[in-house]
A and B are shown apart, each in its own frame.
Chain A
């Protein structure tokens, strides 16, 4: 468990971002608390990935403020608190899964014992056993995704930002990834923000759902509350209903 001075892991305050005149994020305000698992839902182009990238500091907001544990997003201190899994997280194909983990650990901690221990933890988190020593280029998509997730989790960040972590994975791989994330959150007390299209995943995994549309937050709450509010059978039906009304 983390002993942090603030209970707010991530905060967006009136954040706007546009590209070449096209609005991607249009004044969102959002707070994610420590220990909470929050899902960002929304159609393609609704601003989910841009929001996550701003939280990591890879993109700067045009206006508004993004903070991570009170620090400006993108600052070295804020980045040290973030574990980020991009939607298309690639690996170095010529390196083995283990070497990929070790490379990132070395970039973070230098060539020392801590880097090796971190990579060993990553190898354990991946659950790939001996397969972690296979070249990434010959790994299946599911195996690659597990290495990429392990790479994100191994540093022990108190805030995880996962962009469609189970996208393109088969049912078994997706379940394993979800379990790994859930266990990590429970074990460490980390806040987790997941961008996803998988309603079942969101319903089972997340404490809160934030629905984005055209760069705005159009609904948020616990999955069960949203389903009941819109008189839907499940989250997917509620989602379609909300988008229709907009």
Chain B
């Protein structure tokens, strides 16, 4: 349950820091010409504008010399207008250079650099427009400046697999599906923890022998343990998933990147996915725990399964699994987690045939793992797991 509290808190703190901490610039005019003074003023306005457009604030100071500016504490980026800038700026034949000094040890320097480059783009576009208008005037040609400066433009449209136009929010849904697929990782950890405790805990409490002596079938006993651990995994996992969603929502708001968008259908598919992932996790780990020779062995086994889950769920975040080479893709499909990811991805892509196929594979693998767990369930393994006990209890 901790991620439900800690992740939104982390997101809120990140958002608050991001919004309240301005990007700090200093501009030094080394040219001191009338034109450079005008450019300095324009550049300051463009920097403020570029910062605002990305949801940030910029603080700009004017310093007398470059050495003083570089020694100033708390700056992210220093802009130097070198001597001769004004002359180059007003010439048709020369490039006017600005010098940028990025503070290497500042966490905000990347964002400051990005804002500065955007501002320079505005400035450069403004100057290009002026120079083009002047050249057109000299050449006595009448043409739109836009057609010369941006002769090729892109008209962006969205579509989904199969060629149909993408429905509204398709991009956001796809982003959210990747986040949700990654968040499945948070289902595996509580399910694993409870599964280890439900078997090794019985042994440590010395209740396992009495329990096994009862006239209940192995199927009922193991099924009960897996279903109970899955249920707890689902509850704890659902809370953790909620925490992850809130975290990504806040981070999206802070950085202005992809946006989280949940539809009722996606929530339903994800809930089912969470349940099957928890069940598959318990089924994967139970035969390994049963045959573990010690609590440490069982915990190591659980950690190994966590590691496997982490690798696969991280893939969902950064890779398009379906386009991996066949020698990686098909072996990955043998792991239920991969199909859990593909269920979500195919659902939001509208590939319902593949959605059903991966859902079926996930179900079959989960049930198959449960059957394997049941087949490997041996009372003797649970009664004599520790070698030191083996000798004394004969």
Contact = CB atoms under 8 A, between A and B. Distances in A.
Interface of A: 19-20, 22, 24, 44-45, 47, 49-50, 53, 56-60, 76-77, 79-80, 82, 84-93, 104, 107-108, 148, 151-152
Contacts of B384: 19
Given A19-B394, A107-B216, A148-B210, A58 B205 contact: no
Nearest to A163: B209
Contact of A107 (B214, B391, B392): B214
15 contacts: A19-B384, A47-B394, A58-B380, A59-B379, A77-B215, A85-B210, A88-B206, A88-B209, A89-B210, A90-B206, A90-B207, A92-B205, A104-B210, A107-B211, A107-B216
A242 to B, nearest CB: 20
B206 A59 contact: no
B156 interface: no
A45 B214 contact: no
Contacts of B394: 19, 22, 24, 45, 47, 49-50
Interface residues of B, number: 21
B15 interface: no
B391 A45 contact: yes
A104 B205 contact: no
Contacts of B215: 76-77, 79-80, 108
A56 B209 CA distance: 10
Interface string B211-229: 1111111000000000000
Interface of B: 205-207, 209-217, 379-380, 383-384, 390-394
Nearest to B389: A88
Contacts of B383: 53, 58-59
Contacts of B214: 79, 104, 107-108
A79 B213 contact: yes
B213 A58 contact: yes
B390 A19 contact: yes
Contacts of B379: 57-59
Nearest to A17: B394
B392 A84 contact: no
A59 B380 contact: yes
Nearest to B382: A58
B280 to A, nearest CB: 26
B90 to A, nearest CB: 83
A45 B392 CA distance: 6
A19 B132 CA distance: 93
B210 A44 contact: no
B378 to A, nearest CB: 9
B213 A60 contact: no
Given A19-B390, A20-B390, A89-B207, 7 more contacts: A53-B383, A58-B380, A79-B213, A86-B210, A89-B209, A89-B210, A108-B214
Contacts of A148: 210
Contacts of B390: 19-20
Contacts of B209: 58, 84, 86, 88-89
Nearest to A77: B215
Contacts of B217: 76
A108 B209 CA distance: 15
B207 A92 contact: yes
A92 B201 CA distance: 10
A108 B216 CA distance: 7
B392 A44 contact: yes
Nearest to B220: A107
A156 B3 CA distance: 48
Nearest to B206: A90
A188 to B, nearest CB: 18
Contacts of B211: 107
Contacts of B216: 107-108
A227 B210 CA distance: 35
Nearest to A49: B393
B42 to A, nearest CB: 71
Given A47-B394, A49-B393, A93-B205, A58 B210 contact: no
Nearest to A20: B390
A143 B256 CA distance: 64
Given A79-B213, A84-B213, A86-B209, A60 B392 contact: no
Nearest to B221: A107
Contacts of A86: 206, 209-210, 213
A104 B209 CA distance: 13
A88 B383 CA distance: 11
B170 to A, nearest CB: 48
A80 B211 CA distance: 13
Nearest to A22: B394
A66 to B, nearest CB: 14
Contacts of A59: 379-380, 383
Contacts of B206: 86, 88-90
A79 B215 CA distance: 5
A79 B217 CA distance: 10
A22 B211 CA distance: 27
B224 to A, nearest CB: 9
A44 B214 CA distance: 26
Contacts of B213: 56-58, 79, 82, 84, 86
A91 B393 contact: no
A47 B383 CA distance: 15
B317 to A, nearest CB: 39
- Identify the 4 closest CB pairs spanning chains A and B, nearest first: A90-B206, A79-B215, A86-B209, A84-B213
A198 B391 CA distance: 22
A44 B394 CA distance: 8
A44 B205 CA distance: 23
Contacts of A76: 215, 217
A44 B211 CA distance: 24
A57 B216 CA distance: 12
